[in-house]
Amino acid sequence: MKEQQAVDRQTYDQVILPIYSPAEFIPVRGEGSRVWDQQGKEYIDFAGGIAVLALGHCHPALVSAVREQSEKLWHVSNIFTNEPTLRLAQKLIAATFAERVFFANSGAEANEAAFKLARHYAITQYSPYKTKIIAFKQGFHGRTFFTVSVGGQAKYADGFGPKPADIIHVPFNDLDAVKAVIDENTCAVVLEPVQGEGGVTAATQEFMQGVRQLCDDNNALLVFDEVQSGMGRTGKLFTYMHYGVAPDILTTAKALGGGFPISAMLTTDKIAKVMGLGTHGTTYGGNPLACAVGNAAFDIINTPEVLDGVEKRREYFVEALNQLNDKYHVFSEIRGLGLLIGAELTGKLQGHSKDILQACADEGLMMLNAGPNVLRFTPSLIISEEEMKSGMAKLDKALEKVLA
């Protein structure tokens, strides 16, 4: 075998498109909520690969799912179907409002499909002018050009020329703002039940119910982007279940494959019907390898043991964060739902989430932010008490250092 050259963080700056600035250390191994870098230094993982690793690193059931499927069948394309894809679709349908599933590989792709479906449905069922999409400021739906345009942060969408048109952004949780712009030419309202990237903000009950009603009154589809909030993240299989408000289209990704790239768009028979042969497609979507892992992850996540454990772990996190706040007075609010937790920074640390992440890495803690002013916690749904305790002790030290 050809000998491999050593790589380090400097290699990154030479060979990768300069769109990220990853931490200085390079993780090489993970187990549960623990990770080790090239030097063997140990980290506690409170980031979970951005809400992806719902079952932590290298969960034995997911490892065997990959191993077993990798020795049977990797890929056939959608010219053929396969057993894992059909099984996973059946499971998602049995557990939700949905009757039809489209599989893709990333959150953005699932959303791209959702927005195309919403437009196509409105145009074919109502009128060629029914194309308006109402979305929300601070919303995030991915980085393809359509999805980033539906997202509510101009800084991500600007600079690439003419955008897909007829998309309007209003403040989140502001029902009157939706009321003011929704009309017969609206095809969809798109929202994250808990805004993730935008700062970890949960929708209010009144807002969710109100938007549902407004959609019904205007024959517009309600699209929930549960790419981040879905698959157990907030303690129910999908976050819409907390509200008792079902969407017409739902997208999910991140935790769906527990670290293996896969996403899904869910909808009803009535809506799915408009997508005739050839109207949309993907090469990899629904491939047996990804779906085999998805099935294994689903079978573990969709159990009372895992889902009920989320709230208990949230309580631990919130209590520990409140204790840190008593000591340092750095959080103005701790919010979110389940294990999608945001701690808004105040005082001396306002706007300094990046510095805290850096200090955490030094202490051996993988942390995440949601903008400059919010620390975000998206750990494994099955993180152990000992791992939480160890991680919080590291966060304590990191805050002490940043404040010094």
Ligand X SMILES: *Cc1c(COP(=O)(O)O)cnc(C)c1O
Residues that bind ligand X in the complex, under the rule CB under 6 A: 106-108, 111, 140-142, 192, 196-197, 225, 227-228, 253-254
Phi, psi of 95 (to 5 degrees): -95, -5
- Other C-beta atoms within 10 Å of 215: how many? 21
- To the question of whether residue 108 is assigned a binding role by annotation, the answer is yes
Q: CB nearest ligand X: which residue?
A: 107
Q: Cβ of residue 81: shortest distance to ligand X, in angstroms?
A: 24
Say if residue 267 carries a ligand binding annotation: no
Asked if residue 260 belongs to a known ligand binding site, the reply is: no
Between 45 and 192, name the residue whose CB sits nearer to ligand X. Answer: 192
Measured from the Cβ of residue 217, the count of other Cβ atoms closer than 10 Å reads: 11
Query: Closest approach of Cβ 345 to ligand X, in Å?
Result: 21
69 is in an annotated binding site: no
Maximum Cα–Cα distance across the chain = 65
Distance CA 59, CA 65 (A): 10
141/394 with CB nearer ligand X: 141
Q: Which residues pair with 186 in a beta bridge?
A: 132
The residue with tokens 């999608």 is 340
Nearer to ligand X, 154 or 180 (CB): 154
Contact between 215 and 181 under an 8 Å Cβ cutoff? The reply is: no
> Taking the mean position of all CA atoms in its chain, how far away is CA 285?
18
Q: Exposed/middle/buried for 393, CB within 10 Å: 0-12, 13-18, 19+?
A: middle
Shortest separation between residue 107's beta carbon and ligand X, angstroms: 2
**Minimum distance between the CB of residue 113 and ligand X, rounded to whole angstroms?**
12
Find out whether 227 is annotated in a ligand binding site. yes
Nearer to ligand X among residue 135 and residue 227 (C-beta): 227
Nearer to ligand X, 110 or 402 (CB): 110
Judge whether 10 is annotated as a binding position. Answer: no
Q: What torsion do the CA atoms of 327, 330, 334, 336 make, to the nearest 10 degrees?
A: -140
Q: Point out the annotated binding site for N(2)-acetyl-L-ornithine.
A: 143, 282
Q: Point out the annotated binding site for pyridoxal 5'-phosphate.
A: 107-108, 140, 225-228, 283
